[in-house]
Amino acid sequence: MKYQHIDKRLYRDTRQGVISGVCAGVAGYLQIDSVWVRLAAVAALICMPKLTLIAYIAAVILVPRRAG
């Protein structure tokens, strides 16, 4: 049996991103449309703004940009 190694990592996608590419990167990682991730981010921002902003800023700092 052969195993295919899939290198699945989280990156910020600045080419398709609106602000810094965090939502586009998460959407690419989860293999879903980025609109759904952005809608979830807006809903989280409305429900818990401080925590969402801290998490977003942390993701901008900690998640690397995709090279290329």
Average pLDDT estimate for 7-20: 84
- Give burial (CB, 10 Å; 0-12/13-18/19+) of 50: exposed
Average pLDDT estimate for 51-66: 92
52's tokens:
């969402």
What pLDDT, on the 0 to 100 scale, is given for residue 33?
92
Say if residue 41's pLDDT is above 80.
yes
What pLDDT, on the 0 to 100 scale, is given for residue 67?
65
| pTM, to two decimals | 0.79
CA–CA distance, 41 with 29 (Å, rounded to integer): 15
